[in-house]
Amino acid sequence: MNKKFNESGAFLSSLLVEWGDSIIRALIIITFILAFVAQTCTVVGNSMLNTLHDGEKLVISNLFYKPKENDIIVFHETGALNEPVVKRIIATENKWVRIDFDRAIVYVSNDEVIDETDIIDESSYAYLDIGAYKMKGIKEYYVPQGHVFVMGDNRNNSTDSRSEYIGFVNEKTILGKVIIRIYPYDNFGFVK
């Protein structure tokens, strides 16, 4: 009986050591991923409605990242807000952005109209409203080298590159591209 007990006790302790070793390895891998490959962040505010909502938790990555139009990014705004900000890239360096605020149309270089029908509600687009500051008519922006032009999907409630508070975003301040929404759990999945 003692022999059987010793064998099962040895088996159990061997199993516990193996599980403990696996858990420690998993924690090391997760720590490495969060430190060097991906980070988490929380959406603050409603500027990215209806794509992202206030309080949602996101996973972002900057591993081998090169900014592209239509990517949703998180960058560290160092001016008036001085916090991480989530926005969509409208144009990359050396491109022109022309916004017709009255007709709710965004053009990027060579009069290419951005198809935003899946992204925004056009009824909330006609101008940027920051207090008494409203934009009407047509405005053009040239994106300097090493920068991107960003806008929130909730155009009428977004402080972004159209505003002097944000302006062009230096690529060096980009923390990463939004990859996955992890909270709330019922909306878990990739973000477009």
Tens of pLDDT, residue by residue over 116-154, are 766 665 555 545 554 445 677 888 999 999 999 999 988
Which residues have C-beta within 8 Å of that of residue 146, sequence separation ≥ 6?
Answer: 93, 170, 171, 172
Task: Give residue 179's identity as a one-letter amino acid code.
Answer: I
pLDDT at residue 120 in the model? 64
- Nearest 10 degrees: Cα torsion 146, 149, 152, 157: 120
In 3-state terms the chain splits into helix, strand, coil percentages (rounded to 5) of: 25, 35, 40
The H-assigned helical ranges of 135-184 are none
Query: Per residue in 52-105, pLDDT tens?
Result: 999 999 999 998 899 999 999 999 987 766 789 999 999 999 999 998 877 778
- Taking the C-alpha atoms of residue 171 and residue 59, their distance in angstroms, rounded to an integer, is 19
CB-count exposure of residue 117 (10 Å: 0-12, 13-18, 19+): exposed
